[in-house]
Structure 1
Amino acid sequence: MISVVGAAIVRHGCVLAARRSYPPAEAGRWEFPGGKANPGEAPNDALTREIAEELGCGVRVDHWLTGSVGGVDRGRRLELRVALCALVDGEPTGTEHDALRWLAPEELDDVDWLEPDRPFLAELREVLLEGEPLPGGNVGGAVRIGDTVRRPTGPWTPAVHALLHHLADAGLQSVPRVHGFDARGREILDYLPGEVIDVDAEMLSDAKLAALSRWLRALHGAAEGFEHPGPWRFFGVDAPTLITHNDAAPYNVAFDGDQVAGVFDWDLAGPSCRAADLGHTAWTAIPLFRPIPAREAAHRLTVFGDAYGTTPLAVLDAVQPRVQVAIDGIREAVRRGDQGMVNLAAGGEPERTEVALAGFLARRAAIRALL
């Protein structure tokens, strides 16, 4: 029996399909790239060799999909197996195929697969739906599949989608478009590429800080007049005046150079006010939760306030009330069983924020004196 191996190369939740150009009976149809193992050659070795020869790239074999498919070629019995693989070197090029496509799980049926490859598609579809877990954000559960992000939904999702549609219609940049729901009931949104700054390890530059503040002002302008009864996930502030993001923090922002390229994790959107949004973004982006020197905090508050068009004192005074809303809201959401907030609690919230807030209050007078 001749062993035939195929590679389901997966990247960002999509699989690589290759279109045959020969023989005539198979030209124009799609397959998993691969080929025949040499006598005595281990399947993993055969697959990595074939992919290097066919596609000019290196792969790592992760595991083999269930089952195999038998066949006959010129009187010889064949057995095809397909393995999940990851790219480790280079970019695939179609030296032996006339087209290559990265297919998301919803696109697997868009191409005409060769019959031997079809039995592997059902299992592969479930693998692709797992996606690539994304870092950042606050509550977890987001995965990337191709140019989209899949996220768990909740009672608040219809209201959030209505807000995102409104902001897109208003021309606000750097917000994800909504593309409906996937087979697992998750929302499908644009993947927004860019650099996410870890403010636990470094600080936003003055230019990035100002860009985030200007984007926040643009958001508030675009949200004026939008109304929706909800329900919303955000725990709320006293006397809300507009519906906004409520978590425009560096962990939810992607930058392209010094400019805001994307703002994601809109699940906490809901009724709030400009001051609360400013206070939360200052808390996370100055960042005032860290014990940075008072003079540096005052300078960065000035940069942030000037870019928005308000005073740094107004921003400073907005911080403590908004942080207290977060502390109280997390506890209430955990009590209600909100799984995302339960995840936060497992990471030490809101106790960690309470400690940070006490430190900020001890430093606030020194910062105020420099403003």
Structure 2
Amino acid sequence: MALVEEILTGGNMTSVVKVGDTVRRAAGPWTPSVHALLDHLRRRGFDRAPEALGLDEQGREVISLLPGAAAHYPLPAHVLSDRTLIAVAELLRDYHEATADFRPPDDAVWQLPAHEPVEVLCHNDFAPYNLMFEGDRLSGVIDFDTVSPGPRVWDLAYTAYRFVPLTDPDNHDVPYPGLAEQRRRLTLFVAAYGMDEITPGQVAATAVLRLREMVEFIVTRAGNGDPAQQRVLELGHHLLYERDIAYLEANRLAD
């Protein structure tokens, strides 16, 4: 009897299907390294990420299905609440702690470049559309395809960009909270992560670097024929990110 495949919505980079209690999608050169990390997370007791289950007969990666649903734009109000902001910071800290002693395979391949200093395995896309919610409660994190070694603040920066959010008033993805509220929520987010050596100012400055690298990634990959990034370019997402970069550079969000 053939397995029933249900296309899951929200994945704009690769086709993702649900088969029973598993999720399947195209594997890449980085998949063995990602699965090694997922195995490590399980051994460390971090159970809010999928379990790696190998490859299927079509060569697709197979991972376990987490309960709940990811958040997508326009975001529900609870995703931008202080409660969720704190929970996201705490989950990111727990994830980082679980990766701190991970030793990648000697032949590890990552889709995104590593950054120095290497402190953890950055998720690199710890954003609403990759976080699972059961009702209004944060329950897990998915989509580890873009993980790579790097500093904690690199992950904090992109997550703050999405959840504070650190966006220009004309970014229509999320309501603009105002500069004072961005400062307050950025401070709250960094405090909830809980490392004194990481400051709101460092996170805001790193967000600029992270967004610049993302724009370069989109433009370069689109130019090399990547259909997913060509679609992103056609939609003008890179222009939105460039506007947010200019906003962050023009406004001091933290001392």
TM-score by length of 2: 0.84
More helix by share: 2
Letter in 2 for 1:170: R
Partner of 1:212: 88
Cα RMSD for the two superposed structures: 2.4
The match for 1:355 among 240, 247, 253 is 240
The match for 1:237 among 110, 115, 128 is 115
Deviation track 1:62-92 (CA, whole Å, cap 9, x = no partner) reads xxxxxxxxxxxxxxxxxxxxxxxxxxxxxxx
Partner of 2:64: 190
Q: How does 1:132-143 map to 2 (within 5 A)?
A: 132-143=6-17
More strand by share: 1
Residue 343, structure 1, aligned to residue 228, structure 2: yes
Residue 325, structure 1, aligned to residue 250, structure 2: no
Letter in 2 for 1:211: A
Deviation track 1:296-330 (CA, whole Å, cap 9, x = no partner) reads 21122122111102432222122001111222223
Identity %: 36
| Pairwise CA distance, 1:157 | 0.6
Question: Contact 1:327/1:350 (CA < 8 Å) preserved in 2?
Answer: no
Letter in 2 for 1:235: P
Question: Contact 2:219/2:233 (CA < 8 Å) preserved in 1?
Answer: no
Give unmatched runs, 5+ long, in structure 1: 1-107, 109-124
The match for 2:37 among 150, 157, 163 is 163
| Pairwise CA distance, 1:205 | 1.4
Partner of 2:172: none
- Change in 2 beyond 3 A, CA 1:173/1:205: farther
Q: How does 1:170-319 map to 2 (within 5 A)?
A: 170-202=44-76, 203-228=79-104, 229=106, 230-291=108-169, 292=176, 293-309=178-194, 310-319=198-207
What secondary structure does 2:23 align onto?
A: strand
Q: Distance in 1 between matches of 2:45 and 2:220?
A: 35
Q: Distance in 1 between matches of 2:9 and 2:199?
A: 34
Q: Report which structure shows greater RCO (CA 8 Å, sep ≥6).
A: 2
Letter in 1 for 2:68: G
Q: Distance in 2 between matches of 1:300 and 1:308?
A: 12
| Pairwise CA distance, 1:284 | 1.8
Question: Contact 2:166/2:244 (CA < 8 Å) preserved in 1?
Answer: no
Letter in 1 for 2:247: A
Q: Distance in 1 between matches of 2:89 and 2:166?
A: 15
- Change in 2 beyond 3 A, CA 1:249/1:260: same
Give unmatched runs, 5+ long, in structure 2: 170-175
Between structure 1 and structure 2, the one with the greater Rg is: 1
Partner of 1:114: none
Letter in 2 for 1:214: E
The ranges of structure 1 where at least 4 consecutive aligned residues each deviate by more than 6 angstroms after the TM superposition are none
| Pairwise CA distance, 1:235 | 3.1
